[in-house]
Chain A
Amino acid sequence: MSRVDIKNVWKIYEGDVQAVQDLSFFIEDGEFLAVLGPSGCGKSTTLRMIAGLEDITRGEILFDGKVVNELSPSERNLALAFESYALYALLTVHENIAFPMRAKGMSRAEADKKVMWIANILNVTDILKKKPGGLSGGHKQRVNLCRALVRQPNITLLDEPISHMDVRVRANMRARIRRLHDELKLTTIYVTHDQEEAVALADRVAVMNHAKLQQIGTVDEIWNHPANKFVATFVGEPQMNFLQGRMESKAEVSINTKNGKSIFPFDGDVDADFLGSEITVGVRPQQVQLSMTNKTNDAIPGVVDLTQFQGESVIVTVILDDEEKTEVKAVIETDWVPDPGNKVWLKMAPETIHLFDGETPILR
């Protein structure tokens, strides 16, 4: 069993620098949780407090219901792998991986067996005799992972462990890390600034910004129901489009264009107080629909500014004919792609519409 509870945790550095503010969330046994946020958001500090490498200014961290605030890193039985790989330069890869086990008094034979086991899973068997100095960044990170995971700890903490790797190696490593987690039934906390990585690996994602938790939820929850505009823009590439709109009725929003008003029905409820007020309409580029023709008033006219081929898709930038000349991006995966200069119509399906009042979502 290894459940982690973080209860009202603060980290305040000298000079009242609040690195983490009133953070509360939990990680269930066997869960893969990603802590996602831009640099300086407090995610690594959080990880370091869980690891015991950083004092907790206020609040409590519990492992399986027991407060661990005062326990040293080694007493917490954790595995740690950080972006900066501190491998022992004088030891071979094999010795590097075996070191933490040998230091705890494990016999050579048993340690060797475990080294071979983890080296196989992470595919480093052919470099076991090499010293770290001659290894590529990707190799070093894999060795680092081996060393962290070989002890089969209660909780695995990973801080950007594969961010330096080449795209091709990274695709394999993602699969290996997820496999390892599922096969060994690990409890994993994974810190990253890369939203694609968090989405790829995690069961749930905790999004942080400015030292605070913004939202915690499954990928689908974060994608479909972002808790605020920051989360809406931070997750997803290209980022969510925003348009200036007006609440037409309890089920419709309107956007003013040169030709008049375009009306879009949406799913869900909005507080009656918002009727008639200005709001922000959000729609993801992947969910924008473009067409060459339009017969009704449920579309906004615009002109294609440019197209960017991406292999599986084309990103189309459209300048809309609304009052703000809003620039909107659409990801098109069909064979039909408009050309720059083409007049197009933008449509949004009811279930793809997000509504914000300032930073706050108002759709229920």
Chain B
Amino acid sequence: MASVKLENVTKKYGQKLAVDNLSFEYEEGEFFSIIGPAGAGKSTILKMIAGIESVTSGKIFFDDYEVNALSARERNVAMAFETYNLYSHLNVYENIAFPLRAPERHEKLSKDEEKRRVEEVADFLGIKKLLGRKPVQLSGGEKQRVSLARAMVRRCECFLLDEPIAHLDARLKFSTQTALKRLSVKLGTAIIYVTHDYREALGLSDRIAVLRKGRFEQIGTPQEIYNKPATDFVANFIGDPPCNLIDGTLADQNGKTLFQSGTEFSIPLQKKSIGSAQKIVDVDQDDEIRLGIRPSRIKVSKERTSEHSFQLPIYAIVRRPEGAVITFELEKCFFRASVKGTEQYGMSEKVWLDFDQEHTFFFKKTVKISK
């Protein structure tokens, strides 16, 4: 077991900056996820920690020991990738046991001990029944779990998992996530987990780092990332339906401060919101700021509910098993409210909206929002 620390790590491929002066430290036994869109540099970070890629500048430490000069083998980390690379001539048991038998690992397990370890991890990942099969007899999802088992069977400094369950169907993904979480709690070994799926990251992690173009936008617990997104990028990346982002300006009217977007959207701001909105205007030197609010924080009703409510027509309604998601159209964007219960609404019906300003964010505009 080890803690891993990155100090001002940069990676360039030619002129292209893949990882930009990153520093972070993660603690022993932590489940640490790195999430971000394709091309953000997630896999590059893992490969540098594993020693598969060199760092262009900066230092990587395991505990307090600098490992820059160590080879991948010497670093003693286990990796699992999105692609599985199983040995086709070995059966599933032998594939999983393979790293245990590697001479340089000095594991020297007895046959019984090896069997116990393989079966334990196979059981956790729901592939115990497959141990006698050859890879060619497995589905893509099964291969991926075997590949994951082969990494997780080892006892090592840390596990580096790169989209290890990306190819599983939704249902299997969920049960494998559960298994992975359980395994990580049991082993107590640090896991660095790369994914583009925010649900995986929220459900599995102790902390999450949101990566964008080689830089971290925010590092925090799943609750912090979800409830207090640091930037519009983080807000936009996490949640389904996604966090609403509405661009607009502040205006004064009869002593009240309003947030206005186009001609049809205007809400009176509460005191606390005015402060945080004004701060963005001041720092950013841009009149237009971005309001963020999760769909669950917008109340929809047929009657007016407070002095801050306002009316808009419904653009479209899609269902959820015990509720609905209602979409509203503004000039430059859509936004959504998720509602529960049985109240029936119709397309184009004008309804009252109430934004929960305790859970409304204001951001500088850094991502493009499409309509």
Chain A residues near B (Cβ < 8 Å): 123, 167-169, 171-172, 174-176, 178-179, 182-183, 194, 199-202, 219, 223, 235-239, 286, 305-306, 308-312, 315, 317, 340
Q: Is the CB of B178 within 8 A of A308?
A: yes
Q: In whole Å, how far is B226's beta carbon from the nearest beta carbon of chain A?
A: 5
Q: In whole Å, how far is A362's beta carbon from the nearest beta carbon of chain B?
A: 22
Q: In whole Å, how far is B175's beta carbon from the nearest beta carbon of chain A?
A: 9
Chain B residues near A (Cβ < 8 Å): 170-171, 174, 177-178, 181-182, 185, 199, 202-204, 222-223, 226, 236, 238-242, 294, 296, 315-322, 325, 327, 334, 336, 338, 347, 370-371
Taking a contact as CB atoms closer than 8 A, the residue among A123, A219, A305, A311 that contacts B226 in the complex is A311
**CB neighbours of B240 from chain A (8 A):** 167, 171
Q: Is the CB of B319 within 8 A of A182?
A: no
Q: Is the CB of A306 within 8 A of B178?
A: yes
Q: Is the CB of A172 within 8 A of B318?
A: no
Taking a contact as CB atoms closer than 8 A, the residue among A174, A183, A238, A310 that contacts B202 in the complex is A310
**Who on chain B is nearest to A193 by CB?**
B169
Q: 4 new A-B pairs (CB below 8 Å) besides A175-B318, A200-B320?
A: A171-B241, A179-B347, A308-B177, A311-B202
**CB neighbours of B203 from chain A (8 A):** 308-310, 315
**CB neighbours of B199 from chain A (8 A):** 310
Known A-B contacts A171-B336, A309-B203; A201 and B174 likewise in contact (beta carbons under 8 Å): no
Taking a contact as CB atoms closer than 8 A, the residue among A167, A175, A200, A309 that contacts B242 in the complex is A167
Q: Is the CB of B325 within 8 A of A200?
A: yes
Q: Is the CB of A199 within 8 A of B321?
A: yes
Q: In whole Å, how far is A147's beta carbon from the nearest beta carbon of chain B?
A: 20
Q: List 25 A-B contacts (CB under 8 A).
A: A171-B241, A171-B334, A171-B336, A172-B327, A175-B318, A176-B316, A178-B318, A179-B315, A182-B316, A183-B347, A199-B321, A200-B319, A237-B171, A286-B321, A306-B185, A308-B181, A308-B204, A309-B203, A309-B223, A309-B226, A310-B202, A311-B226, A311-B239, A312-B294, A315-B203
**Who on chain A is nearest to B322 by CB?**
A286
- A352 vs B315: C-alpha distance in the bound complex, in angstroms? 33
**CB neighbours of B223 from chain A (8 A):** 309
- A199 vs B199: C-alpha distance in the bound complex, in angstroms? 20
Q: How many A-B residue pairs have CB under 8 A?
A: 92
**Who on chain A is nearest to B227 by CB?**
A311
**CB neighbours of A172 from chain B (8 A):** 327, 334, 370-371
Q: Is the CB of B202 within 8 A of A179?
A: no
The 3 closest A-B pairs by CB, nearest first: A308-B203, A175-B327, A200-B318
Taking a contact as CB atoms closer than 8 A, the residue among B170, B202, B294 that contacts A237 in the complex is B170
- A169 vs B370: C-alpha distance in the bound complex, in angstroms? 8
**Who on chain A is nearest to B175 by CB?**
A238
- A312 vs B227: C-alpha distance in the bound complex, in angstroms? 10
Q: Is the CB of A219 within 8 A of B334?
A: no
Q: In whole Å, how far is A169's beta carbon from the nearest beta carbon of chain B?
A: 7
**CB neighbours of B178 from chain A (8 A):** 306, 308, 317
**CB neighbours of A237 from chain B (8 A):** 170-171, 174
**Who on chain A is nearest to B240 by CB?**
A167
**CB neighbours of A311 from chain B (8 A):** 202, 226, 238-239, 294
**CB neighbours of B334 from chain A (8 A):** 171-172, 175
- A178 vs B319: C-alpha distance in the bound complex, in angstroms? 10
- A308 vs B177: C-alpha distance in the bound complex, in angstroms? 9
- A167 vs B204: C-alpha distance in the bound complex, in angstroms? 20
**Who on chain A is nearest to B204 by CB?**
A308
Q: In whole Å, how far is B114's beta carbon from the nearest beta carbon of chain A?
A: 27
Q: In whole Å, how far is A92's beta carbon from the nearest beta carbon of chain B?
A: 20
**CB neighbours of A200 from chain B (8 A):** 318-320, 325
Known A-B contacts A172-B334, A179-B347; A219 and B321 likewise in contact (beta carbons under 8 Å): yes
Q: Is the CB of B321 within 8 A of A236?
A: yes
Q: Is the CB of A239 within 8 A of B171?
A: yes
**Who on chain A is nearest to B370 by CB?**
A169
- A323 vs B181: C-alpha distance in the bound complex, in angstroms? 25
Known A-B contacts A168-B242, A182-B347; A174 and B371 likewise in contact (beta carbons under 8 Å): no
